[in-house]
Chain A
């Protein structure tokens, strides 16, 4: 079946009244929770996981699609109105967006963010629909050695490239891999790291791990460091844009999309680099460079589009290869697994209708976001005045409920608390949480591929590089790992030159 007819079938599934309703609920919940201070899209999906258990997978994923884009949009609303970006990907939006809002142009800033997100999300989803099957076609030809190599690449790339300290990234990865080891070894049936505790034999439920790290850890962390001085939210009416705003926005939207999608699709692309690139580009190309730093609409339009396009791009490796590259995708992957669905190349053949319904509902979710959120923006801004005790108590309450309802055993709540404390500690000492979650999810699968590979080669390690793709991937891995050291060498040979990378890049940790 070709892409077009599969997609139309997807729309047919997603547009049944019941599923459409789930999409609407998803968008509203996602935006509301995304606007609430301290709650990002990953936490939103994690908290809402249990709600979807009773739903059939298709409906659940349609809801997730709404939550995914909704949460993203909610985050940008707060960064514009409050200048407090909740995630690194909306830092750039806050620069110009908050200046615009302060200058009385909040309505236009929100409008260009919403419409830009819609444009980028729609183009990004279209690219996803086109690219994913191509990636799948390529991926089904790969054997275990290549898979092993690609997963190693994804793990190392996320660990080594994102975050401010590679060392702390690897520490987090190690913890994640260790958590992933808990349970019965699938090949030999031996118990690993269960400490004689029968409840650990099935391994730690990934939903419990995700809720612990993203919701409990975060809630405790925020509770320990509550902002003491209240902020002002800039009052906002109905978002709208004038003619000149449209004229200045549409090109940045498209350029932002072009930056965002490929970066999102790369194993460690993330949304930070493309939003930053988009900002710099718009500043250079703008006819009003003097407005930058004072509230230039291009500086909101471009990065917001880049952010959303990256979000769509992230779903390409997630669906086609089973490789999550950001926190939200990782939690969604956990949801797939809890339904017994294994993302990867086989997904498109075994669960075709589900995948295409998900892609179709991404289109629908995007559209809903626009028509629901433009009129509701003033209401969302009111959510920021919700008293904190209720907010964070609510997060703990629903996190507990969610983790408990997975298996109905109090033991899971103990795990929740222990891992929540771990999440707290990681935030305190600057260990990034993403490598941990990826380690938990990908660890067991990497081990599986490794054992399969060496089984095929009868124990000969050369089997690991028996496929050309694997060799290419290992070279990329080597470059990523060697990069900071190479940089250091270059710097040493050319003394007096300023470092090439800003202080917060991955290389910083080794240069001091």
Chain B
């Protein structure tokens, strides 16, 4: 069994990661960190750079948590990547970060979190940046 966390280098993403670490420690399960990009633009600030990944790696290692970090760039959106990973690894829990969005913003952009909440087969823990 695994816990899947959707990570982005933002306060919401950090909050989700912190929460996921706590959950993984509680149940001693493997943590699967997903940080994806569609890879269709030169710049994607939601895609973590090597140094950031390294620091997460260090953080998880020092806390003694079994973990896998994946950074798929396959042209799929973040929701699809997280759902895919959850299904593939038979996840017991998905952890995501929530961002405040205006109703209009949500209408235009759609919502990654909403799709995960609706389509996931396992419990989803949604965290807000505090």
Contact = CB atoms under 8 A, between A and B. Distances in A.
A388 B42 CA distance: 7
Nearest to A382: B43
A228 interface: yes
Interface string B38-76: 111111110101000000000000000000000001000
Interface stretch (A229-237, A283-291, A339-347): A229-237
Contacts of A229: 39, 47, 73
B37 interface: yes
A388 B41 contact: yes
A228 B42 CA distance: 9
Nearest to A235: B45
Contacts of B42: 37, 82, 84, 227, 230-231, 384-385, 388
A386 B41 CA distance: 6
Nearest to B52: A232
B12 to A, nearest CB: 16
A231 B43 contact: yes
Nearest to B46: A230
A389 interface: yes
Nearest to A384: B43
A388 B41 CA distance: 5
Contacts of A84: 42
A233 B73 contact: no
A140 B47 CA distance: 60
A387 interface: yes
A389 B40 contact: yes
B104 to A, nearest CB: 18
A387 B41 contact: yes
Given A230-B73, A232-B47, A384 B39 contact: no
A233 B40 contact: no
B41 A233 contact: no
Contacts of A232: 43-45, 47, 49
B43 to A, nearest CB: 4
User: What is the predominant secondary structure among interface residues of chain B facing chain A?
Assistant: loop
Interface in A362-412: 384-389
Contacts of A233: 43, 45
A385 B44 CA distance: 6
A84 B43 CA distance: 11
Bin chain B's interface residue count: 10 to 19
Nearest to A81: B43
A32 to B, nearest CB: 15
A228 B45 contact: no
Interface in B1-58: 37-45, 47, 49
B43 A228 contact: no
B35 to A, nearest CB: 11
Contacts of B37: 230
Contacts of A82: 42-43
A342 B44 CA distance: 46
Contacts of B41: 230, 384-388
A384 B47 CA distance: 14
Interface string A216-232: 00000000000111111
Residue from B38, B40, B42 with most neighbouring chain A CB atoms (10 Å): B42
A498 B15 CA distance: 56
A386 B40 CA distance: 8
Contacts of A37: 42
Contacts of B39: 228-230
A385 B43 contact: yes
B77 to A, nearest CB: 12
A230 B44 CA distance: 6
B40 A388 contact: yes
Residue from B41, B44, B47 with most neighbouring chain A CB atoms (10 Å): B41
Contacts of B49: 232
Interface string A177-219: 0000000000000000000000000000000000000000000
Nearest to A381: B43
Interface string A136-162: 000000000000000000000000000
Contacts of A389: 40
Contacts of B45: 232-233, 235, 385
Nearest to A229: B73
A36 to B, nearest CB: 9
B81 to A, nearest CB: 14
Contacts of A388: 40-42
Contacts of B47: 229-230, 232
Interface string A61-82: 0000000000000000000001
Nearest to A36: B42
A387 B43 contact: no
A231 B38 CA distance: 12
A388 B40 CA distance: 5
Contacts of B73: 228-230
Residue from B39, B43, B49 with most neighbouring chain A CB atoms (10 Å): B43
Nearest to B48: A232
A452 to B, nearest CB: 50
Contacts of A235: 45
Nearest first, the 9 A-B pairs at minimum CB distance are A230-B44, A384-B43, A37-B42, A233-B43, A230-B47, A387-B40, A230-B37, A385-B41, A387-B41
Interface of A: 37, 82, 84, 227-233, 235, 384-389
Given A230-B42, A235-B45, A385-B42, 20 more contacts: A37-B42, A84-B42, A227-B42, A228-B39, A229-B47, A230-B39, A230-B41, A230-B43, A231-B42, A231-B43, A232-B45, A232-B47, A232-B49, A384-B42, A385-B41, A385-B43, A385-B44, A385-B45, A386-B41, A387-B41
22 contacts: A37-B42, A82-B42, A82-B43, A229-B39, A229-B73, A230-B37, A230-B41, A230-B42, A230-B43, A230-B44, A230-B47, A231-B42, A231-B43, A232-B47, A232-B49, A384-B41, A384-B43, A385-B41, A385-B45, A387-B40, A388-B40, A388-B42
